[in-house]
Structure 1
Amino acid sequence: MASLNNASWTTGLCGCFDDAGSCCLTLFCPCVAFGRIAEIVDQGATSCCVSGTLYMALASVTGMGCLYSCCYRSRLRDQYRLQEKPCADCCVHWFCEACALCQEYRELKNRGFDMSIGWQANMEKMGKSGATAAPQMNPGMTR
């Protein structure tokens, strides 16, 4: 059976050096990066603050924030039909959490989101006030 998820990511897992700002954010403030990712992927159903706080609490208390964040990688991949590369989502987050978050952050930026303003402001900026569908990008297009 052919995979439904066959589009390529707009950047590689180790493409952090192409976007120093995202790289620094995910390295030094992963809770902020994750919160922003979660808000966009959840299409505003959860807030950046709540998701980031929960991520930080899990990471601080159990050291397992990656178990929470890998679920959002799966959701992001499903929304954009991205390949599960270079390995399973949970493995990517387990072995390289910072790189995984940075790649997801860049992916959403490359798809037209301003990650610092949240879901609702992005929808207003895109002229889709109240919209619930994530903007799609032609898989062959990159910035």
Structure 2
Amino acid sequence: MAAAPAPQQGQWTTGLCGCFEDLSSCCCSCCCPCIPVGQVVNVLDSGNTSCCEGGLIFCVLESLTGLGCLYTCGYRKKLRMRFGLSADPCNDFLTDCCCLCCSIAQTHRELKNRNMDPSQGYIATPPTAPPVGQFMHKG
């Protein structure tokens, strides 16, 4: 399997129908989309929404109303804004409504290709320690 191209600001690393570039996210997006949706939500919400919460919200919306795309299109937009990506091939809502599995797989791949692997969950950057020798004192 060829390595994914180096991510560039403003460009998707794979196309909407690039499912064969990462078969695991493709299969999971088609067979059990609540898992990759939950993982993407967790990463894009900086850990404030758990994978289970994100996946459950999507599953309930999708199974009861068939409108899980209303939930996922917001996170597709969030991903695009973070990396300055274009709304290709059309706006987020239409992309998710017309090609939900492909869109879920693409957002999952995009994070993975940008070293933010959603299957690992949100990983916070550890706080930096104060410089040595600095301290607070009452003056």
Rate the CA distance shift 1:86–1:48 in 2: closer, same or farther, 3 A: same
Q: What SS does the aligned partner of 2:62 have?
A: helix
Of all paired residues, the percent bearing the same amino acid is: 44
Misfit runs of 4+, over 3 Å? none
User: Which residue does 1:96 correspond to in 2?
Assistant: 99
TM-score (norm 1): 0.80
Distance in structure 1 (CA, Å) of the matches to 2:127 and 2:14: 29
Distance in structure 1 (CA, Å) of the matches to 2:21 and 2:78: 24
Alignment of 1:48 with 2:45, yes or no, is no
Deviations 1:95-142 (A, max 9, x none): 0000000000000000102322210xx33xxxx2259xxxxxxxxxxx
- Larger Cα Rg: Structure 1 or Structure 2? 2
Distance in structure 2 (CA, Å) of the matches to 1:9 and 1:92: 14
Q: Which amino acid aligns with 1:23?
A: C
Rate the CA distance shift 1:130–1:52 in 2: closer, same or farther, 3 A: farther
User: Which residue does 1:10 correspond to in 2?
Assistant: 13
Q: Which amino acid aligns with 1:109?
A: K
User: Which residue does 1:139 correspond to in 2?
Assistant: none
- Which of the residues 65, 69, 84 maps onto 2:68? 65
Q: Please, what is the CA RMSD of the aligned residues?
A: 1.4
Q: How does 1:121-140 map to 2 (within 5 A)?
A: 122-123=123-124, 128-129=125-126
Deviations 1:51-110 (A, max 9, x none): 100100000100100011001000110011111110000000000000000000000000
User: Which residue does 2:116 correspond to in 1?
Assistant: 113
Distance in structure 1 (CA, Å) of the matches to 2:51 and 2:127: 18
